[in-house]
Amino acid sequence: MLTLYHTPLSINSRRVWVALLEKGLTFELKELNLGGDQFKPEFLALNPFHHIPVLVDGDLTVIESFAMLDYLEAQYPTPPLMPTAAAAVAKVRMVQMATLNELMPAVNPLTRKMMGFGEPDAEAMQKALKQGSLCLSFFAAQLGDQPYFGGETLSLADVVLGTVAPWCEQLGLPLADHAALKAWCDRLMAREAWQTTAPTPEMIAAFRERMRQLMAQRQG
Site residues (vs ligand GSH, CB under 6 A): 10, 12, 34, 38, 50-53, 64-65
Minimum CB distance to ligand GSH smaller for 40 or for 130? 40
Helix (H) or strand (E) holding 56: strand 54-57
Minimum CB distance to ligand GSH smaller for 55 or for 88? 55
- Asked if 132 and 106 touch (Cβ cutoff 8 Å), the reply is yes
Give the closest residue to 165 by CA, choosing from 151, 152, 149: 149
Minimum CB distance to ligand GSH smaller for 34 or for 183? 34
| DSSP-assigned letter for residue 173 | -
DSSP H helices, 86-150, are 86-98, 104-115, 122-143
Q: How far is the CB of 50 from ligand GSH (least distance, A)?
A: 4
- Measuring CA to CA, how many Å separate 76 from each of 19, 107, 129, 155? 11, 31, 38, 14
- Measuring CA to CA, how many Å separate 178 from each of 54, 64, 101, 122? 35, 31, 21, 26
